Structure 1
C-alpha cells in the first residue's frame, strides 16, 4: 500500500535503519538518528542501484514520486539516471570553474613566480578593477 504523508510523520526511528516502501521501488529510509531519506531502487545493466532523491520533509512525498517518475523515464530510454545526475553535476562544476576569472587566476599564479611582488600585485589589481 502506498505511503501517505500522515504515515510518514508518524514514523519513529529505531535502533537499526528501517526501509518503508512506497511503490515502484521508491522507499523511505529512516535512520537511527531520525533522518528520513528518499531512495529509489532500480536495475540498470543487470546491476541493482539506489538513487537518492532527497530528505523528508525538504522533499515531500509528491516531489519524491515525481523525481522517481522522471528517473523511470530516463531508464526507459536506456539511460542510467545516476550517470545522468553525475554528468549534470560535473557540467555545473566545470561551468563555474571555467569562468574567465578562474582561468585568469590560474594563469596569474603561474605567471607571478618570475615577477616582483609589487608588479604582480599591480597586475592583479588591474585584472580585478578592469576585467573581472
Structure 2
C-alpha cells in the first residue's frame, strides 16, 4: 500500500494537506472522532478470504488506512470548515492602540467558503496520493498491489 508506518504516514500527510486549506479546522479519516465512542470490537476492520482467494476487509472503519499505510479499501477522509468571519454584522475588536472598537467588513465576500473548499480538498487529496504513489514507485519500483476486494 501507499504510505509508511512512521515518517511518511498517508493519513498524517492527508491531514496536513487538508489542514493547509484556509478555514479548515478539523480532519477525520474513516470513523474519525466517532471511533472514540466505539469499542475495539466495533471499530476493528476484520479480514477474511474473499471470492477470489485474496484477503478482503469486512468493514472500513479505518477509512482505508491502517498504521499509516493504505489497505486497498476506499480512502474515506472528511474535513470541517469554519464559517467565514467576514460578515456584515459589526464585530467587537481592539485597535492597534489598545482601544475597543467595532469592525465592519465592507465589500463583497463569500458567505460560505465550504462550497469552494470541496474541489480544493479533492485536489489536495489527489496531490497527496500522487506524491505517495511516486514515492512508492521510487522505493519499490512497482505499483502497489491493490485493490483488495471488499467481502
TM range (shorter): under 0.3
TM-score (norm 1): 0.23
- Report the structure, 1 or 2, having the larger helix content: 1
Q: Over alpha carbons, which structure has the higher Rg?
A: 1
TM-score (norm 2): 0.21
